[in-house]
Amino acid sequence: MIQERYRFWLTSPYFDEDTRSEVAAINDEKEIEDRFYTDLEFGTGGLRGVLGAGTNRMNIYVIRKATQGLADLILEGEEAGKNRGVVIAYDSRRFSDRFAKEAALVLAGNGIKAYLFDDLRPTPELSFAVRHLKAQAGLVITASHNPKEYNGYKVYWEDGGQVPPDRADRILAHIKAHQAWDDILPLEEAEARAKGLLVEIGEEIDAVYLSKVKELALYPELSRAKGSNRSIVYTPLHGAGNVLVNRILTEMGYSVFTVPEQEKPDPEFTTVPYPNPEIPSTFDLARSYGKARNAQMLIATDPDADRLGMALRTPQGDYRQLTGNQVGTLLSYYLLTQKKRLGILPEQAVVIKTIASTDLADLLVKDLGARVENVLTGFKFIAEKEQEMEIQGSGDFQFGFEESYGYLAGHFVRDKDAVIASLLLAEAALYYQEKEGRSLLEVLEDIYGKYGYFIDDQISITLEGKAGKEQMEKMMVKLRETDVKSFGGIAVACIDDYELRKGRRMIAPFHSYELALPQSNVIRYSFQGGGFVMARPSGTEPKIKFYFNIRGVDPQRLQATLENVKKDLLELIKD
């Protein structure tokens, strides 16, 4: 099968000359195998992979086939779905604009209207646009914070959230049912425009979206009166956040300086090793400008502007980067306490977080009189839970976050949103400084003083290709076959296996229990007293990830405890 696919891509006139030349230049048998042994996997969020020719790579032909699968799903439904259409956005990565237009023209070829943004836009604005335009679905071309060699394709449904597993499975079934590659033909652009099947959108969506973001401000008058006193250095890391993050902060009254070397779109991401705001080195340029300008805060957004990283100035004049868990905890605290102070916190207030995110938030949110809902890893599950509560009237969503730098407030977006997060963080820092004389670092320290210190970390092991996938599976089998009593001397209270949807209590009274969350290849070890270790193969990258959340009363000793926990985990998964 591999050789058949290889020869087809090598010789068929359906593929353009550049593609056939790239295939012809492959001399290594292992690379041929890796490119053609399978189709690029369509997971719950869509596609993500290395750019290049082949069935297991990101290219216009894989984009066409995936889009045909989406079109088939839409055509299964009512006729109105075709007219409601699909909104398409893209970021600054290589071929993003071409992939976006290719998808639009495949949809048009199926008689489905496509709303295509006129330039790169943040992923959360795509989510908003789907809801605002009452579209049937949405697409965004992005590989988020992955290296420059990657691109991706994320699918959204009419609620503005990423397609849930059941719909993703149906799209995948349509893709698999469509065996041929060479019968998917995009409509000509001129014809698509003439028929009203390709419609360009832009500023009219930006204006409505930003007006909604502004409504989330709790103290807009304070921002407009005092915001210019706060100096913020911002880097969009060559991505899609630049225009809207700058607009929202500037229009609300804040003083923003954008790192000039990282301001413009650049698919090579030449100033950073990876365009990921979780990585400290992405703040190197922002840090130097921050010191020169005496800035209180540095913020960075990833290429599609759904994730946000933040660093705060310390009393010594340097900058301390906060983790996603710390930012999520601070924003949960700020929104709940200030809404309570203003008398606008609903009785059924809910914060939604993932099982990979800090247990500190559970303690804090419950103590502040709100409810915590924990969901599987991935922001789509936060959005699903928000929608479920909305339909059932079972809670009022206030905030959602995940440890990987994703945050959301409000009801008009159904994905993590760095534009919203940038405004809320700027306002929180301003409020505490102006009204309470405290920095966000001091607020965080007060939270630790009340609820205990929590530190978190992550080990991400990259395992490429078929062999890597098999190695990840072996690791998870070994974990499932081992009764772990402790990590780093901390007793394991419970082991939750989400693949089996079973949990076991490892300390007296011993018993088993059913897990309510959907099936997922995840094992979570909860510690007695709070904190956890969690193992999870990534659904979008060739990686297995291990999450650590450790609680203690002495911050000086916590780091050593964390290292011991990590050491025990790595020893456990060794061959």
Q: What is the set of active-site residues?
A: 144
- Contact criterion met (CB below 8 Å) for 332 and 361: yes
How many C-beta neighbours within 10 Å does residue 113 have?
23
- Contact criterion met (CB below 8 Å) for 293 and 286: no
Calpha distance 215→337 (Å, rounded): 18
Calpha distance 511→502 (Å, rounded): 11
Calpha distance 116→125 (Å, rounded): 12
Joined tokens for residue 284: 């190197």
- Contact criterion met (CB below 8 Å) for 561 and 486: no
Q: Looking at the DSSP assignment, which residues form a beta bridge with residue 503? A: 496, 513
- Contact criterion met (CB below 8 Å) for 59 and 51: yes
- Contact criterion met (CB below 8 Å) for 372 and 362: yes
- Contact criterion met (CB below 8 Å) for 250 and 316: no
Q: What share of the chain is helix, strand, coil (3-state, %, to 5)?
A: 45, 20, 35
Greatest extent of the chain over all pairs of C-alpha atoms, in Å = 71
Half-sphere exposure of 254 (CA within 13 A, CB side): 32
Q: Which positions ≥6 away from 216 have C-beta within 8 Å? A: 409, 410, 420, 423, 424
Q: Could you tell me which of 65, 37, 168 has the C-alpha nearest to residue 464?
A: 37
- Contact criterion met (CB below 8 Å) for 525 and 539: no
Q: Could you tell me which of 533, 554, 261, 302 has the C-alpha nearest to residue 419?
A: 302
State the amino acid at position 198 in one-letter form: L
Half-sphere exposure of 519 (CA within 13 A, CB side): 4
Calpha distance 275→61 (Å, rounded): 26
Calculate the alpha carbon distances from 373 to 349, 394, 421 in Å: 11, 11, 20
Say which residue the tokens 């889009």 belong to.
67
Residues listed for the chain: 575
Q: Which positions ≥6 away from 24 have C-beta within 8 Å? A: 10
